[in-house]
A and B are shown apart, each in its own frame.
Chain A
Amino acid sequence: MSTFLGVPGIGNLRGDQPFPAAARRELGNAQLRRNLGRATQTIRTKRLAAIRECADWEDLRTAGSALKRDALARLPELLEQLERNVEARGGRVHWARDANEANRIVESIVRAAAGDEGITEVVKVKSMATQEIGLNEYLEARGITPIETDLAELIVQLDHDKPSHILVPAIHRNRQEIRDIFRREIPGAGDLTDDPHALAMAARSYLRRKFLSARVAVSGANFGIAETGTLAVVESEGNGRMCLTLPNTLVTVMGIEKVIPRFTDLEVFMQLLPRSSTAERMNPYTSMWTGVHPGDGPQDFHLVLLDNGRTAVLGDEVGRSALHCIRCSACLNVCPVYERTGGHAYGSVYPGPIGAILSPALTASRGGDDPNASLPFASSLCGACYDACPVLIDIPSILVHLRAVQTESSPRRGTGGQLGSERLLMKTARWLMTSPGRFGVAERALALGLRMPTVSSRLGSPWTASRDLPSPPPESFRQWWARTHESDTR
């Protein structure tokens, strides 16, 4: 049984170390670097090919973004419409303000489903919302065992590890490592090889028994359709289909931003999502269900609508488009930072570029000692994420906005010392840069300083650890200009 490490009320949205320190730890793992480099390179290439097949890809992105913007602009109305339609078709809707409330609701539904017999296991469909709220840890601490049924999520769970990618949670593991985890954790798998087929079959036979015996399933939702009360889960292994049809009780935890107005809106997202996430033309298993149907599938259906910071993000004019995210992970796969550090460096269950904006936004990070305050800075602003995003989230601009939120809301004498001296440096630079006279003097002082070894080594220690400083030029450009073009100067 693992300990619940999440932050009370918030869930697994924050690590215990700022990004630079966590990244340093992860960068030291050469096997991780190789696994990630290989995996992200493969997905990147496949995704580009899948996108080039669509002549109207840019129109689809624009449509996806517009649909999400519309849905967020009238979120209360759409959520109430969804609630009415789910309940009219025999489902129950619950509203959860934060992670704690959502976890308590799920637990009470499981307990009620158990009746007198008692239930010790629930099967789970891969879901970011339940990872976000730390549902597994919460249930385990109360004697209920959640069984992850997505292959990669199962690997992570059996290894008592944390997911490191939104779509491919075990991307940091290669098949030798997976073989070792299965040998250790699955009864009777002691002589398993690292053949991918053998690994899949071992997981299959382990999971098949769980599917057949489970009486409660927990899922997330990729989409919730207000117009009809239909929920949709998109997956590629068929495990989701099993969970969504076999147990008698189904609990779906859905972030409130997943609501879309009409059934026909799925047309756009079902083109954008598979090509962006797994580079597939069509998603293998798309399950949709509407309420309950006597004699067919779960007879007891609950939808938990999760806020957990989303309403606050909606109030931020610049940052709100982070809520457009459809969890495809294309931004992770193209990010040069993610490719090198992996997902664990981000602390939160949402890693990569989207995590660098979503985690600090959902946790209302405001600088200081909060590890999430370092996330908006965990990017070189190269822009590859914005190019890849199927719903046009301008991640670089939101990163810059959230950087300002961190620095502007931190106390003047920044905690940890660094922000305080950085602020002084920035103020000084601004003062120098608003006067051409002062600026010219500063330029010469910099050149002089760089010629003195003691000054230059102190100036640039985080720089000079791996790069040489340029040698200062004999004269600055403005000195050259004055010498050669003096009469031309305005």
Chain B
Amino acid sequence: MRIGLFVTCLADAMFPAAAIATVTLLERLGHEVVFPSAQTCCGQMHVNTGYLSDAAVLVRHHVRTFEEARCEVIVAPSGSCIGSVRYQHPMVARRAGDDDLARRAESLAARSYEISELLVDVLEVRDVGASYPHTVTYHPTCHSLRQLRIGARPLELLRHVRGLKLIELADAETCCGFGGTFAIKNSDTSTAMLHDKMSSVISSGAEVCTASDSSCLMHIGGGLSRAGSPVRTVHLAEILASTDSVT
């Protein structure tokens, strides 16, 4: 299958390992990955901060870029950015009075997937041939959980990883407090939420906390690092791409 990579601006600039892992994994499974290099950002930050007309420009750019890429499906290593493409892009286009763009955004969204959705629903794989000899706890990010409803897909994938010991996270479905510019505008409240999430992660006893959003992992990881915790944050795609030998 010819799969277009929607890298997401955050993974491109700050967490390329998650995107590289997505490419490595899909190529290993025998698919062709293309990277439409004109892509930039889906505009979620603009939408969620209240700059909808600025976001409309970015939506137009995103839709045109991926239409021209002529790929069958599009994948992103982010539940949040796929949530934006699926639920915000058509709304932003309509609000800007561009119904044609809204229709095109809807049709593009219908073939855009978060990585675990693509693997389980489209490619119908659960064992991706990965091995990762570590104890791992999974944080279901809010947008993948409550917007995309990806449910247990990431857990199913993780259960098939050799050497991986999955540990349940207490209060897993509670937000980590990131919320984009919320983390800046309401940093005190965001930090209070983060500290509770960190306590759950640390008390799980896992070596690694994973999720399918680099943004939430940046938040949890930034807090863990500040607290001097040895727990690492690793993107789901990196674990699924891993072939570390199991001792």
Contacts and interface: CB of A to CB of B under 8 A. Distances in A.
Interface of A: 19-20, 23-24, 27, 33, 336-337, 340-341, 376-384, 386-387, 397, 400, 403-408, 422-423, 426-427, 429-430, 432-436, 439, 443, 446-447, 462-463, 465-470, 472-473, 475-478, 480-481, 485, 488-490
A436 B48 CA distance: 22
Contact of A403 (B16, B41, B49, B194): B49
B231 to A, nearest CB: 13
B50 A381 contact: no
Q: Which of A423, A436, A446 has the most chain B CB within a 10 Å cutoff?
A: A436
A43 B25 CA distance: 43
A472 B20 CA distance: 15
Contacts of A340: 189, 192-193, 196
Interface string B49-63: 111111101100100
B58 A27 contact: no
The 4 closest A-B pairs by CB, nearest first: A380-B179, A467-B222, A403-B50, A407-B50
A342 to B, nearest CB: 11
Contacts of B73: none
B222 A381 contact: no
Q: Which of A341, A380, A406, A472 has the most chain B CB within a 10 Å cutoff?
A: A380
Interface string B157-185: 00000000000000001110111111111
A382 B175 contact: yes
A329 B50 CA distance: 26
A376 B39 CA distance: 30
Secondary structure of the B side of the interface? helix
Contacts of B222: 463, 467-470
Interface of B: 7, 9, 11-17, 19-20, 23, 34-41, 43, 45-55, 57-58, 61, 68-69, 88, 91, 95, 142-143, 145-147, 173-175, 177-196, 218-219, 221-223, 225-226
A443 B192 CA distance: 30
A468 B178 CA distance: 13
Nearest to A442: B13
B225 A480 contact: no
Given A19-B186, A340-B192, A468-B225, A489 B37 contact: yes
B7 A430 contact: no
Nearest to A33: B192
Given A340-B189, A379-B182, A380-B175, A406 B50 contact: yes
A433 B65 CA distance: 12
A33 B57 CA distance: 42
A112 B165 CA distance: 74
A463 B218 CA distance: 11
Contact of A446 (B13, B145, B186, B193): B13
A27 B221 CA distance: 23
Contacts of A383: 142-143, 145-147
Given A380-B193, A473-B14, A426 B51 contact: yes
A225 B194 CA distance: 45
A362 to B, nearest CB: 19
A404 B52 contact: yes
A381 B179 contact: yes
A462 B179 CA distance: 14
A404 B51 contact: yes
Nearest to A433: B40
Contacts of A465: 187, 191
Given A341-B192, A423-B51, 17 more contacts: A20-B189, A23-B186, A27-B188, A376-B50, A378-B186, A380-B175, A387-B146, A407-B49, A426-B54, A430-B54, A436-B40, A463-B222, A466-B187, A467-B226, A476-B16, A480-B16, A485-B35
A470 B225 CA distance: 9
Nearest to A340: B192
A414 B156 CA distance: 48
24 contacts: A23-B186, A340-B192, A340-B196, A376-B50, A377-B186, A380-B193, A381-B142, A384-B146, A384-B175, A427-B54, A430-B51, A434-B61, A436-B38, A447-B13, A462-B183, A462-B185, A466-B226, A467-B219, A470-B221, A473-B15, A476-B12, A477-B7, A485-B23, A488-B34
Contacts of A436: 37-40
Contacts of A447: 13-14
Given A382-B179, A468-B225, A481 B35 contact: yes
Given A383-B142, A477-B16, A336 B188 contact: no
A473 B174 CA distance: 29
B192 A475 contact: no
A485 B24 CA distance: 12
A336 B34 contact: no
Given A430-B58, A446-B13, A480-B20, A462 B184 contact: yes
Given A472-B14, A473-B15, A408 B193 contact: no
Contacts of B182: 377, 379-381
A133 to B, nearest CB: 29
Nearest to B220: A467
